[in-house]
Every structure is written in C-alpha cells, then in structure tokens.
C-alpha cells in the first residue's frame, strides 16, 4: 500500500482545493448534488440498519452500527470526484493559505457546492420517505413503518436544540464532526489505492457518527426525511413524540440545527485541520516549490 508523507498530503490538499475552485458554477452544483445524494445514501442506510438495535444490543452498539455503515457516502464522494461542502471547508482554504487562490474563490465554491448538496440531500430524502420509510396499501394509503418512525425520531432530536446551552452543545458537536471528516479527507489523500482510501476514510467517519457529532449535509437529509415521513405516522406513532413533533418543520431545520452546524463545521474543518496543518508544515511546503 503506497502512502504519502504528511507534507505531501498537505500540499496535495492545497492542489485539490485550487482545482475545485476552478470549476464553473454549474459543475460545482452538479457535483454538489451528487455528493449530497451520496451522503444521504449513507444516512438512509444507517437509519435502516440501526433501527431496533438499541433494545437488543444497547445504545452504544446501536450507535456503532449507525456509524459503521454511514461512511459509504463519503467513500463514494471521494472516489467518484463529487463535491462535499464540509470537505471543501478545509480543502479550499488550504489552497488559499498557500497563496494559490483568492478567498473570493473559496466563498464562491462554498456557496454553489452547498446549494448542490442541499438539493441532492432533499431529493434523496423524498425517495426514502416515499419508499423504504413508508408502507403503502393497495388503496394508496401510506403509513410510516419502523424505519420511518426511526427517521422521524432522528429528525425530532436534531431540531430539539433549544436554549443557549443546547446551542453551544450543537456548535461543539459540529466542530468535532468536521475535525474528523477532514482528517478522513486527508487520510483519503494519503493513500494511492482504493483499499487504502476506503479504510482511511471509514475510521474517522465511523468515529464522528458513532460519537454523535453533527454534520450539516447529513442533516440536510436526516431532517427532511423526518419532515416528509411525519405526515404518514399513525395517531399512535405520533403520540409517542408528544409536543416535540410540533417542532419538526422546514423553519426549525435551519434555526435549530443547520445554520449553526454549518458554522461549526467550517470552524472544525478550516481551523482545526486546515489552519493547523498549514501552519505546521508551511516551511516544508515552501521547500517543495
């Protein structure tokens, strides 16, 4: 297995960021759409696989199952060249730090990829809500199944951050998430072969999901999937959520989660990975030129 030394990884990350910012806007959106859908695929799979696991195996093992299957989304993204906002939160600034691109180019990339990620995530959330998360009668009446109830439960939890302490917790979870996500990106760059990239990506992503951190693009799937599935809950299923179900909507998706998670993800990726690694290896990078 061939792997690159740390200074080469940082330099390659900057080169990748420079390339990504050179793409036209339509391509950023298209590649962002693909990655949003891929991350949603991992999130949808994780929802199905961990449903019902906690009563049998315990809460920790259920989280481990959730985390173990989720990484498929980032693995597909990296190996197929799609664009993920949370990865670009580190890669594009890394290019700016080594004076290859302007900060205007960084912001431009972020905006278009973010839009693409959102569209792809919501489209896949609709596919899941109308497909695996609901069961349909011959008369065309839909009812949320066990997986659908699980999806709604996840979404309700993600919009349940209310108050200063809860929002601070959410922000810290977002930082921790993208710290691990971008370490996964660097480990993916580290290896030249598919197997090395697979394992390099899998472990940090498994760690972030199993730990319970918050990822803005994943939440672009998790919350819409819950919103779109909630109307198909039976009265008995809805009663288990109580008043919490009333907080699940398209507005709280942003105000109680995604806006702050996006900011935290930027801090985690750009500061805790991009800035630190650029600062640590700037002399070695200069020597490579």
Domains and CATH numbers, the chain: 6-288 (1.20.1080.10)
Residue 166 pLDDT: 97
Residue 289 pLDDT: 61
Residue 99 pLDDT: 76
Q: How far apart are alpha carbons 33 and 9 in whole angstroms?
A: 26
Q: Which two tokens stand for residue 231?
A: 């109307």
Q: Which two tokens stand for residue 240?
A: 């288990």
Rg of the chain over CA atoms, in angstroms? 19
Contact 94, 17 (CB under 8 A): yes
Torsion on CA atoms 275, 278, 280, 283, rounded to nearest 10: -150
212: nearest Cα among 163, 248, 261: 261
184: nearest Cα among 201, 209, 206, 207: 201
Q: How far apart are alpha carbons 227 and 76 in whole angstroms?
A: 26
Contact 18, 109 (CB under 8 A): no
Residue 2 pLDDT: 64
The per-residue DSSP string of 70-122 comes to TTHHHHHHHHHT---HHHHHHHHHHHHHTTSS-HHHHHHHHHHHHHHHHHHHH
Q: What DSSP element (H or E) covers 135?
A: strand 134-136
Residue 193 pLDDT: 87
Provide the residue-wise pLDDT of the chain in tens; the chain has 289 residues: 567 788 888 889 999 999 999 999 999 999 999 999 999 999 999 999 999 999 999 999 999 999 999 999 999 999 999 999 999 999 999 999 887 789 999 999 999 999 999 999 999 999 999 999 999 999 889 999 999 999 999 999 999 999 999 999 999 999 999 999 999 999 999 888 889 899 999 999 999 999 999 999 999 999 999 999 999 999 999 999 989 999 999 999 999 999 999 999 999 999 999 999 999 988 887 776 6
Q: Which two tokens stand for residue 162?
A: 């209310």
Q: What DSSP element (H or E) covers 143?
A: strand 142-144
284: nearest Cα among 1, 12, 2: 12
120: nearest Cα among 213, 28, 234, 46: 28
């Amino acid at each position: 297995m061939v792997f690159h030394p740390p200074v080469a990884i940082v330099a390659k990350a900057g080169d990748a960021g420079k390339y990504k910012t050179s793409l036209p806007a339509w391509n950023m959106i298209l590649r962002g759409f693909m990655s949003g859908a891929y991350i949603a695929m991992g999130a949808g799979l994780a929802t199905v696989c961990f449903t019902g696991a906690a009563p049998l195996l315990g809460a920790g093992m259920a989280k481990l199952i959730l985390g173990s299957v989720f990484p498929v989304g980032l693995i597909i993204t990296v190996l197929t060249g799609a664009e993920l906002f949370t990865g670009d939160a580190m890669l594009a600034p890394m290019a700016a730090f080594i004076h290859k691109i302007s900060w205007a180019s960084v912001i431009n990339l972020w905006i278009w990829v973010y839009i693409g990620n959102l569209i792809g995530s919501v489209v896949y959330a609709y596919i899941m809500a109308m497909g695996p998360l609901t069961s349909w009668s011959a008369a065309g009446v839909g009812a949320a199944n066990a997986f659908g109830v699980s999806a709604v439960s996840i979404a309700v939890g993600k919009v349940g951050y209310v108050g200063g302490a809860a929002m601070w917790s959410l922000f810290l979870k977002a930082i921790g998430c993208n710290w691990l996500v971008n370490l996964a990106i660097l480990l993916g760059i580290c290896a030249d072969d598919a197997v090395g990239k697979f394992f390099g990506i899998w472990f940090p992503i498994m760690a972030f999901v199993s730990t319970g951190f918050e990822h803005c693009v994943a939440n672009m799937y998790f919350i819409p999937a819950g919103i779109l599935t909630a109307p198909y809950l039976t009265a008995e299923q809805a009663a288990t959520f109580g008043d919490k179900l009333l907080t699940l909507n398209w507005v709280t998706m942003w105000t109680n989660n995604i806006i702050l998670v996006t900011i935290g993800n930027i801090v985690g990726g750009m500061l805790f990975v991009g800035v630190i690694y650029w600062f640590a290896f700037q002399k070695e990078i200069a020597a490579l030129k």
